[in-house]
């Protein structure tokens, strides 16, 4: 770590996920000493700082954040932010947690400092173990309320069918699960079905896998964040868990 005495966490993006992470830091669920905030929308950073009781600094750009020597930085903003900041952060030998995992699809850049949390799904240890042999089929079916897509359909409607890479690009706020899963099962392609379903108030992800020695069926039904129906609270908590692990190194 950059500083063995002081553990500073940088947070890029002060929306729904960023706010949950900041609140966990305030409650001492995360063991750190300082929090640094940056958001393109300055009012979001200011509002988040005002809402928590924890030593917090707002910076105007990434350069200012790097100057404060954070141990870990979390990207919780967008695929564009991830694309723009991956190299500047990791070349400074700082751990980077990427929430917008779709940004990594076309990026030919690798670093041991880049970390992707499990997000709104689990069982990735079992899936990655199966990927060491042979996975023949992966199907991801995701259902969310139409509010997550700014839609108002009154009957379930399939709004996308295709591969995970395109799903993550077309729905960057809703399908980070697809890109994260695709990284784990490479070279097998993940087939995705995305459904806008007014009969559900939860974000549901069902994963079916056929591999050399059997089959897997994993299903996750998560409450959406009240301020952002596109994302699940579990996504933030997976980042919080990963953050703790990195801070302990």
What's the count of helices (H) and strands (E) in the chain, helices before strands?
Answer: 8, 13
Confidence grade of residue 94 (pLDDT, cut at 50, 70, 90): very high
Query: Mean pLDDT throughout 158-184?
Result: 94
Q: Is the pLDDT of residue 40 over 60?
A: yes
Per DSSP bridges, beta strands 114-115 and 224-225 are: unpaired
| DSSP run (H or E) holding 78 | none
Looking at the predicted structure, is the pLDDT value of residue 4 above 60?
A: no
Active site includes 205? yes
> Of these residues, 67, 95, 205, 225, which one is catalytic?
205
The pLDDT value given to residue 1: 41
CA dist 174 and 171 (Å) reads 5
Neighbours of 186 (CB within 10 A): 10
Q: Taking all residues of the chain, what is their mean pLDDT, rounded to a whole number?
A: 94
Q: Are strands 56-58 and 34-38 parallel, antiparallel or unpaired?
A: parallel
Task: Delineate the domains of the chain, giving CATH numbers in brackets.
Answer: 8-116 (3.40.50.720), 124-228 (3.30.360.10)
Residue 225 has a pLDDT of 83
* Percentage of the chain exceeding pLDDT 70: 98
pLDDT in tens, 178-219: 999 999 999 999 999 999 999 999 999 999 999 999 999 999
On the question of pLDDT at 135 being above 60, the answer is: yes
Radius of gyration of the chain (CA): 18
Predicted confidence at residue 229, as pLDDT, reads 84
């Amino acid at each position: 770590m950059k500083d063995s005495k002081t553990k500073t966490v940088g947070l890029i993006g002060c929306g729904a996920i960023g706010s949950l992470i900041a609140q966990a830091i305030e409650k001492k669920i995360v063991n750190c000493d300082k929090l640094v905030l940056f958001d393109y929308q300055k009012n979001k950073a200011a509002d988040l700082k005002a809402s928590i009781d924890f030593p917090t600094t707002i910076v105007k750009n990434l350069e200012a954040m790097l100057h404060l020597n954070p141990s870990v930085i979390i990207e919780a903003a967008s695929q564009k932010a991830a694309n723009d900041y991956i190299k500047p952060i990791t070349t400074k030998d700082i751990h980077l947690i990427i929430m917008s995992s779709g940004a990594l699809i076309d990026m030919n850049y690798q670093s041991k400092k880049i970390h992707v949390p499990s997000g709104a799904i689990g069982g990735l240890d079992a899936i990655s173990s199966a990927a060491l042999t042979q996975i023949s089929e992966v199907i991801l079916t995701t259902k969310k309320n139409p509010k997550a897509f700014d839609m108002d359909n009154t009957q379930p409607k399939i709004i996308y069918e295709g591969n995970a890479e395109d799903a993550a690009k077309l729905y960057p706020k809703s399908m980070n699960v697809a890109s994260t899963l695709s990284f784990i099962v490479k070279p097998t392609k993940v087939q995705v079905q995305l459904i806008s379903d007014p009969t559900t108030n939860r974000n549901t992800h069902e994963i079916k896998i056929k591999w050399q020695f059997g089959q897997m069926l994993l299903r996750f039904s998560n409450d959406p964040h009240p301020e952002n129906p596109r994302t699940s609270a579990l996504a933030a908590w997976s980042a919080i868990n990963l953050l703790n692990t990195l801070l302990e190194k």
